[in-house]
């Protein structure tokens, strides 16, 4: 017989107190801001509830590793080996970031010569030609964005690994920004793929993708996998532990 119960939220008592079994979702934001009053914030992990990562159903009295009674997916409170997997993807992305910027991303062959363009040479060409708007777009999308994602992910992972409670809310917002801009990081790959498909005039000019495109696409994919593997809830767990320690000491 299934012993789990779905999470049911009840109204707080008249005196304003709320037990773990009687928590109103409308008061959840207020509970997360209780640090100012010296009390530890309520969390799902502290209340003994666990959410299914597949269907989103929240269960109480369920054990980690068991199957969700609704969709059959395995239940887990946190992502498995989140820090180790994130570091693996980040290190691989940093290694490939160098050839992605040094190797040619586009090879143009004409009747007279062959030209190999890297990301930076394309930016310089646009700037020298007076197309500074395109140069800025390519520079931001192809150079700064991947570098920003790598730096931001390393900052979050290091802070979480060191159990730091420094600017947890800002780190959570930074994580959402990294996830949002991840879908806009394939500008060079899209442009090269489009040109390679359109400019194929045998005997006159052909455009083919260079090895730098594969390295650049790998960097983008690896940073996206790193953001997926990272569990931002670990930072809140450490913050919760620090607040509970402060309550005990006080």
- In sequence order, the β-bridge partners of residue 5 are 60
Average pLDDT score over residue span 173-181: 90
Quick one: pLDDT at residue 79? 85
134/101: higher pLDDT: 101
Quick one: pLDDT at residue 196? 67
Average pLDDT score over residue span 18-30: 44
- What tokens does 150 get? 């790598």
Quick one: pLDDT at residue 240? 62
Quick one: pLDDT at residue 227? 92
pLDDT at 22 over 80: no
Tell me how far CA of residue 203 lies from CA of 104, 109, 199, 200, 229, in angstroms.
Answer: 22, 9, 12, 9, 47
Quick one: pLDDT at residue 37? 37
- pLDDT, the chain, mean: 76
How many CB atoms within 10 Å of residue 37?
6
* Model confidence band, residue 15 (pLDDT cutoffs 50, 70, 90): very low
Report how far residue 249's alpha carbon sits from residue 13's, in angstroms, rounded to the nearest whole number.
28
What tens digit of pLDDT does each residue of 41-68 get?
566 766 778 888 788 888 887 788 888 8
pLDDT at 92 over 50: yes
Average pLDDT score over residue span 78-103: 93
* Model confidence band, residue 30 (pLDDT cutoffs 50, 70, 90): very low
Average pLDDT score over residue span 174-190: 79
Average pLDDT score over residue span 182-192: 69
Average pLDDT score over residue span 61-77: 84
What tens digit of pLDDT does each residue of 207-248 get?
788 888 889 989 989 999 999 999 988 888 766 655 554 445
Tell me how far CA of residue 82 lies from CA of 37, 89, 125, 246, in angstroms.
Answer: 32, 11, 41, 27
In the chain, % helix, strand, coil (3-state, to 5) comes to 55, 10, 35
């Amino acid at each position: 017989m299934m012993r789990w119960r779905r999470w049911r939220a009840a109204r707080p008592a008249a005196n304003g107190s709320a037990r773990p079994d009687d928590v109103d979702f409308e008061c959840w934001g207020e509970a997360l801001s209780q640090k100012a009053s010296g009390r530890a914030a309520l969390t799902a992990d502290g209340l003994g509830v666990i959410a299914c990562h597949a269907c989103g159903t929240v269960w109480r009295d369920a054990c980690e590793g068991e199957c969700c009674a609704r969709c059959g997916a395995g239940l887990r409170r946190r992502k498995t080996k989140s820090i180790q997997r994130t570091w693996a993807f980040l290190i691989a992305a940093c290694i490939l970031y160098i050839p992605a910027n040094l190797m040619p991303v586009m090879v143009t062959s004409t009747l007279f010569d062959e030209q190999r363009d890297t990301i930076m040479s394309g930016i310089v060409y646009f700037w020298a030609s007076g197309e500074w708007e395109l140069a800025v777009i390519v520079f931001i999308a192809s150079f700064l964005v991947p570098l920003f994602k790598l730096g931001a992910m390393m900052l979050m992972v290091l802070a979480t690994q060191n159990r730091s409670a420094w600017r947890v809310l800002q780190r959570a917002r930074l994580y959402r920004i990294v996830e949002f801009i991840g879908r806009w990081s394939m500008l060079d790959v899209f442009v090269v793929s489009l040109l390679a498909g359109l400019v194929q005039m045998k005997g006159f000019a052909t455009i083919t993708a260079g090895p730098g495109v594969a390295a650049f696409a790998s960097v983008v994919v690896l940073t996206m996998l790193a953001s997926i593997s990272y569990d931002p809830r670990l930072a809140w767990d450490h913050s919760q532990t620090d607040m509970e320690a402060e309550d005990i000491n006080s």
